[in-house]
Structure 1
């Protein structure tokens, strides 16, 4: 459904405000993900400030990166639409945007952990779990927040993307927000969660639970990829989190695998 009409000048103002709100994602250069011991491999960040405390390398090509780039292009339009509706809700013609903004409003009225918890709870309740196959007739479709809220249904990455955007609009710095792709070793499937850093600790906002859990306390998950405002990164191959002793990280393992195609969990 379209949004209310506006002049070119007003759209330009809305675009500027929206980009200032969210921050324009950096355009990544083309490249390939290679083995860590290759001379042309991306440099690994040391030390890592990412969720799970493991080192990462920037990913410059592959199917998963293209999925995220497609979402980013949709977000460019939605940022303008959400900003315009936020400024004039009576003339906003998108019920999805108004529902999304209601969640953001509730979060803006809270601080700290309560703000994160409000977004986690409200998004979990607003979206029905539904597989991409059931909803779109194909596997692994990533949707932007207004598309998800229009349908009222989605799977794990749709929840995570909506939380990622809502938290930023509610006032959380982009430096403290991530989307993390993890391997559920019990279910044998990949899963996506939003992650937010509070007082130096990363909290996972998961559509499978209302309670937020620190990354140190997640068990039976293997972190695979992480997305920030600049794009996609891949974790260096870690052990199972259940096998990591408390307080011990594993920064010395070597990445030797190429980026796979990714099919996420259905809920």
Structure 2
């Protein structure tokens, strides 16, 4: 690390963002926020259907059908309602560590993969909400996938932040908190960096440091999502 920093000062070939990703970025994939044991959160809202659902209602195909229907049927509601609906929809899925689901320490799943598996880790929850809201005409530039440190859980965590047109205090969509609160109401989350399809921000700095195109995993994830989505939309609802 010392050698790398000396080289940076000598040649100035590395940008601030490059050094950040080389030294810090890999350390953030060793944990993911989930519901803590020692600090219980308010219970997740469980739906109370009037008619008992059959076992077929919780198949991968049924979950994807409900996801497609949500995007189609709630396309014209207010942004706030979209945030609430999408947050609730995905927060009913299970938290599953990547190592158990994918056999690797870190894997970024598409919403389709998450629905097929009926769960994922904190990154998958945030990513699924980002892409779903984008398909429901919520501008991507108003949303950021945010890596934070959770003081409550003492580990890295990912959430989705939504910035309104007039307020710099984003709303936080979190898989361990059922209520959508503003960032100022979540002192337990310390910003590390955030990104979307437009840029990458370090900490709470309002100015993006670099383009997100250097994040190969992010680019690959977007390609996989749009390829899968085109297939599902072309076939309309899966059987």
For the aligned pair, the TM-score class normalised by the smaller chain equals 0.5 to 0.7
Q: Are residues 156 and 108 of structure 1, via their aligned partners in 2, closer, same or farther at CA, if it must alter by over 3 Å?
A: same
- Report the counterpart of residue 114 of structure 1 in structure 2: 81
SS of structure 2 residue aligned to 1:147: helix
Question: Pairwise CA RMSD of aligned residues?
Answer: 3.5
Q: Is residue 196–residue 203 contact of structure 1 (8 Å, CA) maintained in 2?
A: yes
Q: Are residues 109 and 142 of structure 1, via their aligned partners in 2, closer, same or farther at CA, if it must alter by over 3 Å?
A: same
- Report the counterpart of residue 166 of structure 2 in structure 1: 200
- Report the counterpart of residue 90 of structure 1 in structure 2: none
Aligned-pair distance for 1:230? 3.7
Larger RCO (CA under 8 A, 6+ residues apart): 1
SS of structure 1 residue aligned to 2:177: coil
1:123 equivalent among 66, 70, 90 = 90
Give the alignment of 1:72-151 within 5 angstroms: 95=62, 97-125=64-92, 127-151=93-117
SS of structure 1 residue aligned to 2:175: coil
* Cα shift readout 1:113-172 (whole Å, capped 9, x = no counterpart): 1221111111112x2111222222332222111111111111111110000001110111
Q: Are residues 129 and 234 of structure 1, via their aligned partners in 2, closer, same or farther at CA, if it must alter by over 3 Å?
A: same
Give the count of matched residue pairs: 167
Give the alignment of 1:1-267 within 5 angstroms: 39-42=12-15, 57=17, 62=22, 95=62, 97-125=64-92, 127-201=93-167, 202-230=170-198, 233=200, 235-236=202-203
TM (normalized to structure 2)? 0.58
Distance in 2 separating the partners of 1:97 and 1:109: 20
Aligned-pair distance for 1:204? 0.6
Aligned-pair distance for 1:111? 0.4
Q: What are the ranges of 5 or more consecutive residues in structure 1 without an aligned counterpart?
A: 1-32, 44-56, 68-92, 239-248, 252-267
Q: What are the ranges of 5 or more consecutive residues in structure 2 without an aligned counterpart?
A: 29-59, 208-239
TM (normalized to structure 1)? 0.53
